[in-house]
Amino acid sequence: MRITIVGTGYVGLVTGTCLAELGHEVTCVDLDDGRIEGLRRGVCPIHEPGLEAMIARNARAGRLDFSTGMSSVAVSEAVFIAVGTPPMPDGSADLRQVLAAADAVGRAMRGPLVVATKSTVPVGTGDRIEQAIRSARPGLAFSVVSNPEFLREGSAVGDFMRPDRVVVGSDGDLRARAVMDAVYAPLGEVPVLHVGRRTAEMVKYASNAFLAVKVAFVNEIADLCEATGADVTEVARGMGLDRRIGAGFLEAGPGYGGSCFPKDTRALAGAGRDNGSPVRIVEAAILSNDRRRRAMAGKVVRAMGGDVRGRTVAVLGLTFKAGTDDMREAPSVGIVSALREAGAVVRVHDPAGMDAARGLLGDVAFADDASAAVSGADCVVLATVWEDYLGLDLGSLAASMRRPVMVDLRNAFDPAAAARAGFSYTGVGRGGTAVTPAFRRAA
Ligand code: NAD
């Protein structure tokens, strides 16, 4: 099938490339000339495991190309809108990119078309997209369906190729439904849930908000574990083995971040208030998560004896999670800023996110590798669990530091092993096993 993707960011590029891999003929469109130029030369603009090779393979096979113009829409059967929906100052979703994309699609289309919205949009946006296309191109037949995306950055290719489910909101439009079924047919035995358009839009927000609530919940349980001597890693295992609960998203840490959970929870909470149906659980999760970054900086200060002025803190891992270069709403930004406010000298390292982090972190030193960041420091903070960090030799790391204090905000290391390596170790919610910091700043 001939397909156009409008918006070639994390979602659009992964969607377009994977649809080409499935055998469709795909054009990915973006307004960003540099991005499209780079992609034509085989340069992948985002860090996403497996993506660059898949782009090259499909471009070579003639199934995938890139453009700044919309001419491919005229010959496409389906168009996916995958542009950004960033938050407005009041937390609601900014739909300007989506409506501009819809207008451009309307102007470029020449025949019957199915327009699928992959961007995360508030319930009812499908109606506005439909209006935008109709006013740009009165008299032509088209269908607007909602097809929310559930991929996770860092494992986006696998998530797209092996999704738990595909959700299609077509309001019973049989032609649109058949086109969407044909798009996804090469995936094989994947549940395709056909629902109303508004329902599909809500499935996306409700899913993200639920996962965000789970993270915020386990983080508050972690705090209670610390206060009561329980170990949240074991509590989470004990909870997660219950199939009604599930093990995912029960890892205590510095709070959720990234381009989706923070903005989608705020947008859902706003929609709840606007519709006289507040989603109080989500509002509580937002509040809890917002407070967490400062609380994590406080944990570092306590681990260092209560005063970090003039002390060097090495922060390992900046992106909101491993496997991506995305720094949007990364917890590290708030933690680094609070540590700097408290007077610490901060050094940072990240395997993929340093370029994106440069404009966000202010006056910090960017180290070439983890060892260089940690060497001579008074504390090492693990903020994101990149594989490379798990392979570090803790003994040499501790020995290279001025004071071997470790604050493991991801509970990635075994507290006993860290202590054996010479670290004064603090994890998150590990009240029962955390090694009480022996170090106290000398008066
Ligand atoms: P992004 O900012 O990385 O990419 C959006 C792209 O769209 C940019 O490259 C921009 O230049 C381009 N664009 C904007 N207007 C355009 C237009 N009129 N024509 C052509 N290109 C245009 O955004 P993203 O992270 O890929 O997210 C896209 C949408 O998908 C958002 O609604 C997001 O909430 C949703 N989503 C994101 C993820 C994720 O993990 N990033 C997962 C699921 C859903």
Would residue 38 count as lying in a domain? yes
- For a substitution probing ligand 1, which of 27, 72, 83 has the most ligand atoms within 8 Å of its CB? 83
Parallel/antiparallel/unpaired status of strands 25-29 and 64-67: parallel
Are 11 and 148 contacting, i.e. CB atoms less than 8 angstroms apart?
A: no
- Looking at residue 272, its amino acid is G
Query: Does residue 126 share a domain with residue 56?
Result: yes
Are 346 and 337 contacting, i.e. CB atoms less than 8 angstroms apart?
A: no
Would residue 243 count as lying in a domain? yes
Q: Give the distance, in angstroms, between the CA of residue 283 and the centroid of all CA atoms in the same chain.
A: 20
Query: Does residue 236 share a domain with residue 185?
Result: no
Q: Is 173 exposed, middle or buried (0-12, 13-18, 19+ CB in 10 A)?
A: middle
Give start and end residues of each alpha helix (H) in 185-279: 197-228, 232-240, 261-274
In this prediction, residue 431 carries a pLDDT of: 84
Domain count of the fold of the chain: 2
Ligand 1, pocket residues at CB < 6 Å: 6-12, 29-32, 35, 82-85, 97, 100-101, 104, 118-120, 149, 151, 153, 259-260
Position in ligand 1 atom list of the atom nearest CA 121: 32
In this prediction, residue 413 carries a pLDDT of: 97
Query: Does residue 150 share a domain with residue 59?
Result: yes
In this prediction, residue 438 carries a pLDDT of: 42
- Looking at residue 231, the DSSP 8-state letter turns out to be B
Query: Does residue 281 share a domain with residue 178?
Result: no
Are 425 and 409 contacting, i.e. CB atoms less than 8 angstroms apart?
A: no
Q: What residue's CA is closest to ligand 1, atom 10?
A: 7
Expressed in angstroms and rounded, the spacing between residue 119 Cα and the centre of ligand 1 is: 7
Rounded distance, CA 67 to CA 329, Å?
29
Tens of pLDDT, residue by residue, the chain (443 residues)? 999 999 999 999 999 999 999 999 999 999 999 999 999 999 999 999 999 999 999 999 999 999 999 999 999 999 999 999 999 999 999 999 999 999 999 999 999 999 999 999 999 999 999 999 999 999 999 999 999 999 999 999 999 999 999 999 999 999 999 999 999 999 999 999 999 999 999 999 999 999 999 999 999 999 999 999 999 999 999 999 999 999 999 999 999 999 999 999 999 999 999 999 999 999 999 999 999 999 999 999 999 999 999 999 999 999 999 999 999 999 999 999 999 999 999 999 999 999 999 999 999 999 999 999 999 999 999 999 999 999 999 999 999 999 999 999 999 999 999 999 999 999 999 985 544 444 333 32
Position in ligand 1 atom list of the atom nearest CA 104: 18
Percent helix, percent strand, percent coil in the chain, to nearest 5: 45, 15, 40
Residue-range definition of the domain harbouring residue 311: 207-426
Query: Does residue 187 share a domain with residue 219?
Result: no
Q: What residue's CA is closest to ligand 1, atom 1?
A: 9
In this prediction, residue 441 carries a pLDDT of: 34
Q: Give the bridge partners for 346, in sequence order.
A: 313
All residues at 6 or more sequence positions from 177 whose CB lies less than 8 Å from its CB, including other chains: 145, 168, 170, 194
Q: Write out the two tokens for 162.
A: 């092996």
Dihedral angle, C-alpha 218, 223, 228, 230, nearest 10 °: 40
Number of CB atoms found within 10 A of residue 166's CB: 20
112-127 burial string, b = 16+ CB within 10 Å, else e?
Answer: ebbbbbbbbbbbebbe
Of 195, 224, 247, the domain-final residue = 195
Expressed in angstroms and rounded, the spacing between residue 86 Cα and the centre of ligand 1 is: 9
Expressed in angstroms and rounded, the spacing between residue 175 Cα and the centre of ligand 1 is: 27
Query: Does residue 221 share a domain with residue 88?
Result: no
Nearest to 131, CA basis, from 147, 118, 115: 115
- For a substitution probing ligand 1, which of 5, 8, 10 has the most ligand atoms within 8 Å of its CB? 10
Would residue 422 count as lying in a domain? yes
Would residue 161 count as lying in a domain? yes
- For a substitution probing ligand 1, which of 11, 95, 153 has the most ligand atoms within 8 Å of its CB? 11
Query: Does residue 86 share a domain with residue 224?
Result: no
Q: Considering the candidates 18, 225, 260, 379, report the single residue annotated as catalytic.
A: 260
In this prediction, residue 278 carries a pLDDT of: 98
Would residue 135 count as lying in a domain? yes
Would residue 120 count as lying in a domain? yes
Instruction: Tell me, yes or no, if 260 is annotated catalytic.
Output: yes
All residues at 6 or more sequence positions from 356 whose CB lies less than 8 Å from its CB, including other chains: 319, 325, 326, 327
In this prediction, residue 432 carries a pLDDT of: 58
Of 173, 195, 217, the domain-final residue = 195
Q: Give the bridge partners for 194, in sequence order.
A: 168
In this prediction, residue 443 carries a pLDDT of: 29
- Tell me the pTM: 0.94
Query: Does residue 167 share a domain with residue 219?
Result: no
Expressed in angstroms and rounded, the spacing between residue 166 Cα and the centre of ligand 1 is: 19
Expressed in angstroms and rounded, the spacing between residue 153 Cα and the centre of ligand 1 is: 13
Rounded distance, CA 270 to CA 208, Å?
15
Query: Does residue 222 share a domain with residue 161?
Result: no
Would residue 398 count as lying in a domain? yes
Query: Does residue 230 share a domain with residue 178?
Result: no
Query: Does residue 347 share a domain with residue 411?
Result: yes
* Cα R_g (the chain), whole angstroms: 24
Query: Does residue 231 share a domain with residue 133?
Result: no
Q: What CATH number did the domain enclosing 6 receive?
A: 3.40.50.720
Expressed in angstroms and rounded, the spacing between residue 389 Cα and the centre of ligand 1 is: 30
Would residue 440 count as lying in a domain? no
